[in-house]
Each structure stands twice: as structure tokens, then as C-alpha cells.
Amino acid sequence: MKKLIPLCALIFSPSLWAETPAQFIASYSAEAAKSQPGFVADAARGQAFASKRWGVSAKLANCIACHTDDPRQPGSHAVTGKTIAPLSPAVNPKRFSDSAKVEKWFKRNCREVVGRTCTAGEKADFIAFATGAR
Amino acid sequence: MKTVISLLALLFSTASLADDLRMQHAYPAEYRSECGSCHDPYPPGMLNKDDWANVMSRLDRHYGTDASLDDKTMADIARWLERNAGRRAGAQGKPPRFTTTTWFKREHREVPAKAWQDPRVKTPANCSGCHLNAAKGNYNEDQIRIPGQNRRLEDD
């Protein structure tokens, strides 16, 4: 029963409960499965997504333009040069620990780089890539 | 006596800075997280009131990027910037850039051209490239390390 309560909460209100990388992947995957039955987050697909040049912004052409292709390394903002803390929660435990922050950055960066909001499946794949999940 | 002198020095130096540029700041958390994640949290004294208002009025077109904020955060930050804005002449650019001001150019006149192009610096707007504690609003001379330069810049 104890296990059932958070599980229910996770299903009904993913954004409130997803506070670890694994929970974020689970909740975004669950959302993605609604339109793509059997969806499973995939790190390789996440890496391809992060590397894809979207043709929207010249300087911010893809995710790795700032975040680098190694989530364990710090990045550098392609316009301002500011250091960006690593994406990998193994190196930077603050990553993917706060749903408001995660949603804020997906919203901002997807609009900027991808030119639209990202799908739940893309977010799940991206976090799988960032956490190094295989 | 030494203490008195350094205390006096501290009093005068901070007073003149506070009056003039307001470089030293305990930045509000919202300013640090919303503005300071893509670039250094710039000291509000770097632009005057009108220039900050200009910047904040079109965050969706923020120097080539979209930096939109929710209305409340935007208003909070705009109010804080206005209250702490500098009093110098306006900066050039649309939106205005503090790196165009006479003051900025004079303060950085000793920086060799090569240093600006160093990949660790990249742009004059990357304060942390040389000002080690810019993120904390500390621009003291002894907190400067210019990449590729061994010598310290001489004090004026």
C-alpha cells in the first residue's frame, strides 16, 4: 500500500513527483506512451536528438553547441561563453532534480534551438542520454 | 592606526563605487537563476534605468535569443534593475549593450586585443572570462586573471 500511493501520484501528477532523473524519464515516457504505445526512452536516440542541427538558430544550432557531446563535461554558452554545469547527474547532482527547472529549460531551449516545444518522448530520450542510461 | 586607515579607505572606496557604479551586489536569487544562467549576472549599474527598461521590454528578442520570463519574474527583476540602475549616459545598440559605453571601454583599455579573442573569453560580455568572481559581483583588481597573460594589469 505504501508503494501504491506514490505510484498513483506519479501517474496522476507526474510533474509534482518526478524529482530524480529516473522519475523524470519514467513520467515523460509514460506521457509519450499515450501517443506511441510501448515507448521506451533511448539514450542513443537522445544523443542523436542532441546532436541534430535544427536550422533554427545559427549559433545555437543544436543542444551540443553549448552542452558538448559529453554530458559529463561542463559546457559553454555558444553566444556568451558562460560556463554551463555538466548535464550528467552523476557529475552534477542538481541536474534533473527539480521539475519546475527541468520544464523551464526544456521550454526555453527547445523553442530556441528546435524551434518548437519538445515532445515528452524527446525529453525522456534526452534525459536518458544525459544520465548515460543504456 | 592601520586599521583606521584601511577602514577609512574601505568606507571611501565602497561609498564611491556604490554611488557611482554599484558593482558589488548581493544579487537576488531570481536574477541569478533567470539572467545569470546564460550570462554573468551583470551589475545593474552597468546600464541606466532607460536602457534596462529597454532590455526588459523585449526579452523575447534578447540579443538574438529568446529569454522570455513569466510576467511576475519579469516584473520583479525589472523593478530591481530599475532601483539599482546606473546613472551614466545611455549605451548604444538595440537592445543597448553595456560594452559600448565609454566607461566600459576606458576600464578595459589595457586589455590586449588578443585576450578578447581567446576562446575562454570569447566576448567582452563574458565577465567571468577574466573576472574570477564576477558571478558574485566581485570585480576587484586582484580577482582578475586574463587568459594567456601572465602579468597582472597595473592599477591606475
> DSSP characters for chain A?
-TTHHHHHHHHH-HHHH--SHHHHHHHHHHHHHHHSTT----HHHHHHHHH---SS-SSS-STHHHH-S-TTS-EE-TTT--EE--S-TTT-TTTT--HHHHHHHHHHHIIIIISSPPPHHHHHHHHHHHHT--
Window 115-144 of B: residues touching A by CB (8 A cutoff) are: 120-123, 125-126, 128-129
Of B37, B66, B126, the CB nearest to A112: B66
The 10 Å CB-count burial string (b at 16+, else e) for A71-88 is beeebbbbbbbbebebbb
Segment B18-34 shows an average pLDDT of: 72
Give the closest residue to A108 by CA, choosing from A68, A77, A71: A77
- Chain A environment of B95 (Cβ under 8 Å): none
Question: What residue spans define the domains of chain A?
Answer: 14-131
Q: Quick check: A81 and B123 CB within 8 A?
A: yes
Segment A32-37 shows an average pLDDT of: 96
Give phi and psi for A84, each to the nearest 5: -115, 130
Of A21-35, B5-19, B96-110, give the lowest mean pLDDT range: B5-19
Give the closest residue to A25 by CA, choosing from A71, A107, A89: A89
Q: Quick check: A77 and B38 CB within 8 A?
A: yes
Question: Which residue in chain A has the smallest CA separation from B120?
Answer: A81
Q: State residue A123's pLDDT score.
A: 98
- Chain B environment of A57 (Cβ under 8 Å): 64-65
> Amino acid letter at B149?
Q
A107-110 contacts: CB < 8 A, separation 24 or more?
A108/B66, A108/B67, A108/B68, A109/A63
> Angle, nearest 10°, between helix axes A120-131 and A21-35?
150
- Mean pLDDT taken over chain A: 89
Segment B22-28 shows an average pLDDT of: 70
The complex's ipTM?
A: 0.71
Q: How far is the alpha carbon of B7 from chain A, nearest alpha carbon, in Å?
A: 35
Name residues whose C-beta falls within 8 Å of residue B68's C-beta, 6 or more positions apart in sequence. Answer: A108, B59, B60
Spell out the CATH class of A14-131.
Answer: mainly alpha
Give the closest residue to B48 by CA, choosing from B13, B1, B2, B98: B98
Residue A3's pLDDT band (cuts 50, 70, 90): low
What does the block give as the cell for B40?
554573468
Q: State residue B64's pLDDT score.
A: 84
